[in-house]
Amino acid sequence: MDLQGEQTLESEELPVHVLLVEDEPDLRTSLRYNLKRSGYAVTDAGNGAEALAALKADGPAVEIVISDVMMPVMDGHALVRAVRADPVTAELPFMFLTAKGDTADRVEGFRLGADDYLTKPFDIEELLARVQVLARRAYTARRMRKLLPATSGANDQPGVVKQAGDLYAKVAEWERRFPQLAVIRNDSIVGGSMRTMHLLREILVRAPGKDPVLIIGETGTGKTGVAEALHRLGPRAERPFRVVNCAELGAADHAITAGRLFGFGKGSGLANVAKEGQPGLLDDVDGGTLFFDEIHRLPLEAQAMLLLPIEGRPFHPAVGKGEPRLVDIKFIFATNVDLRAEAQAGRFPFDLYQRLAQSQIRVPALAERREDIATLAAHFLDECKGEYDLQHATFAPSLLKHLVERRYQGNIRELRNVVREVARRAAFELDTVLTLDHLPEAWDKLPTAAPDVAPEAPTAADVAPAATPPGTDDDGGGFWHELEMQELRALRRHRFKIAAAEVELGLSSKSRTLTNHLRGMCFKALCACEQGDRFDVKAAALLVVGRADAALLDRTAERLESYLDMVEKHVAAHTVETLFNNLPRDYRKHVERAIELARAKLQR
């Protein structure tokens, strides 16, 4: 593997700064010596209070905390609470050293936010190996600060910093109240961005009650993980948790599907069903949690029948005769489509939609929490280190930069697949530094993130519409219908800043309605500007923008090109069904035409 010109994070950015907290002077001296000998910068303290003073003085410089537990003045548990409550230090890797090796003490330490635990006496080589693991997180955090200056700058605003500080303090409080939350943050809902913290808050708010919850989000965002967290953090955590794959269940005969859910009564007349009847899935999960994944793909009749048990009312077997019965179930549903639009079109029971719409959790797309990508990538690498014998593997800076900047149609699921494939190839080459060379060729050539993947927060200037320039209201000679023109006028007034246009139109940013409509309108414009075996992108951009604005036309042309690149990618991967996710039905034919041209191009 040619690594010329490619430095690892370790060689480029040493030393990592360690805060060592130990009340025994001899041990503190020995540990300080060994850490410095291994290339770390070390600040030491004799107790938690001294450590906090050091953090206030050198907080931004400290990247790892190693602390004893039993100390005078302020012990290690109080220290980790304070570290996790301060937004400046909340994400610092934290390791405990202690002579107490009992399980209860370790559990308490992890509950409070420790990342690792080493029992005295210990081998110094083991300590250094564990510190190296934490150092990789420090390298990643340092690299992220360089890669995302815009994000860091935005978060340096006083109001944002205060909001983040308040939220991180609340997360520390939540973890004390809900010990399982710390485990969930380590294994299923990983990341420290503001959006991730808000997601955790929504989960905690809705976990205790019996009300049904609707989880909405794009494909691959982690909706199943959110459903599991709702179960694990609620009062039914020790009861059954079952997942219903509605796509698979919906493919069966509708009567069989309903029977599997609601049970078969006497005299169903069906083969493989006992004459006296057979309980359904709702009976099996009574007292627990039932998660319907892709609820929009369940047959309409079965969807309508769910309203009775959701509202705590008795229901009968779906097939045959039987007595009415009640169940006590926490219902959770997930979808990646606009259920309101489906209900209005008659493809989803409107009563059921109204019931579910009262309690929604939106899972953000990966593009909206880009600052979590490096943490997620490190998490996925840790997952497969044992499988591929890569215990000391780390990311090269160029690869990490690529992972942060690339566009993920499959969100977290796609990021995980990319990291695992890179790790698999690095293991084959016996490399411990993961580089761009380990990317499969097809992935390496994929376009990186489009400029607008994460909607900007609207400023006061954005929300106040600018004077309408000449030509803004051009409807393309009647090409756009009234609703499209209403949305396009708002977008044009705000120079296609999605968030600002949503404010003017009164649309929720959580629903991504305007984003999905704009995508559809872009494909419609492309199809109107088809020339032979290709699309005239510049002409389509003018149709969308509606006036001769060079900067806007260039940006819109880039957007259109990114959509066409996306189509080619999915055609090559045989995953074109993904292109229709959240797309309004009126625009399906335009995307289908783009798919046809992409297939023809790839066959040439």
pLDDT tens readout for residues 298-311: 988 889 999 999 99
Find out whether 115 and 86 touch, Cβ atoms under 8 Å. no
Confidence of residue 67 (pLDDT cuts 50, 70, 90): very high
Query: Does any domain span residue 163?
Result: no
Query: Does any domain span residue 342?
Result: yes
Asked if 413 and 529 sit in the same domain, the reply is: no
Determine the Cα–Cα distance for residues 297 and 553; give it in Å rounded to an integer. 39
User: Could you tell me the residue range of the domain that residue 329 belongs to?
Assistant: 202-267+275-362
**What is residue 509's predicted lDDT score, i.e. its pLDDT?**
63
Tell me the per-residue pLDDT of 81-118, one tens digit each, with 9 for 90 and over: 888 888 778 878 899 998 876 777 777 888 888 888 88
SS3 category, 279: coil
Determine the Cα–Cα distance for residues 322 and 276; give it in Å rounded to an integer. 9
Asked if 573 and 467 sit in the same domain, the reply is: yes
**Mean pLDDT for the chain overall:** 81
Query: Does any domain span residue 345?
Result: yes
Asked if 217 and 322 sit in the same domain, the reply is: yes
Domain count, the chain: 4
Query: Does any domain span residue 559?
Result: yes
Tell me the per-residue pLDDT of 430-468, one tens digit each, with 9 for 90 and over: 888 899 889 887 665 454 444 333 333 343 333 333 333
CATH code, 431: 1.10.8.60
Asked if 358 and 472 sit in the same domain, the reply is: no
Q: Is the pLDDT of residue 519 over 80?
A: yes
Average pLDDT of the residues in 39-56: 90
**What is residue 469's predicted lDDT score, i.e. its pLDDT?**
34
Average pLDDT of the residues in 400-416: 89
**What is residue 144's predicted lDDT score, i.e. its pLDDT?**
55
- Who wins on pLDDT, 536 or 323? 536
Torsion of CA 136, 141, 142, 144, to 10 degrees: 120
Determine the Cα–Cα distance for residues 581 and 502; give it in Å rounded to an integer. 20
Query: Does any domain span residue 125?
Result: yes
Distances (CA, A) of 338 to 408, 422, 428: 21, 35, 43
Q: What is the DSSP-derived secondary structure letter of residue 159?
A: H
Determine the Cα–Cα distance for residues 421 and 306; give it in Å rounded to an integer. 41
Q: Is the pLDDT of residue 148 over 70?
A: no
Tell me the per-residue pLDDT of 348-360, one tens digit each, with 9 for 90 and over: 999 999 999 889 9
Candidate from 33-37, 316-320, 593-597 with smallest mean pLDDT? 316-320
Asked if 215 and 294 sit in the same domain, the reply is: yes
Asked if 14 and 51 sit in the same domain, the reply is: yes
Find out whether 404 and 415 touch, Cβ atoms under 8 Å. no
Query: Does any domain span residue 174?
Result: no
Domain boundary among 320, 337, 362: 362
Asked if 133 and 51 sit in the same domain, the reply is: yes
For the record, the structure tokens of 253 come out as 């005969």
Asked if 418 and 308 sit in the same domain, the reply is: no
Asked if 217 and 293 sit in the same domain, the reply is: yes
Query: Does any domain span residue 597?
Result: yes
Domain boundary among 449, 475, 490: 449
Asked if 473 and 585 sit in the same domain, the reply is: yes
